[in-house]
Amino acid sequence: MKDDISAYARQGFGTDLPLAAPFGLLIVDFVNGFADPNRFGGGNIAPAIAQTEALLAFAREHAFAIAHTRIVFADDDSDANVFCMKVPGMLTLKENDPASAIVPSLTPRAGEVVIRKTLPSAFHGTTLQAWLAQRGVQTLLIAGATTSGCVRASVVDAMSAGFRPLVVSDCCGDRAIGPHDANLFDMQQKYAAVMPYAEAVSQLSAHLDRHPAHA
């Protein structure tokens, strides 16, 4: 296993991804259903939500562009897709289902966009890319659930769209820790900067101090 991991560095993976302002924050699917271990939650999702409260406060203090996502299917199931064929319970997430509502501690404020989606990625088939581009975002902080699912899909699409993803590792959660850890490792090697909240805030604060025009 050690030799397998060493191949990443030998082949040039895991290069640092420098921060660049303006910054944005994407919070993926931190809704009641994913906070509930009897619905779609479990694992380390609850502590990730709690840590994201501090991240959201930091982003608001510094006027980052902030986006939230929800999974929302039509009441008549007319937009049912392959995702809900694989995970039929997703089709129960409707506009007025409390499970699809963003957790109260992360309630969006005026000026923060809420993206409704029916697929794992926050970008696919939504207006998120244009919304972020209009605000000039270069580095996109990403938190949410699940690390191995909708977070990862959103990170890959963010990178593909030209944004620099910064995955805040302890602000992401999964219903099992193995997939969480493996996907953080893989994203750091290929697609994103990955660091815990304390390190992310330290680096962001230092960058904003050096470039106050972006504060």
Active-site positions?
150
Give Cα separations from 41 to 36, 86, 145 (angstroms): 5, 17, 9
Burial status of residue 3 (CB atoms within 10 A of its CB: 0-12, 13-18, 19 or more): exposed
- The answer to whether 27 and 100 have CB atoms below 8 angstroms apart is no
Q: Strand 164-173 relative to strand 65-71: parallel, antiparallel, unpaired?
A: unpaired
For residue 195, the surrounding DSSP H or E stretch is strand 193-195
C-alpha closest to that of 191 among 168, 157, 214: 157
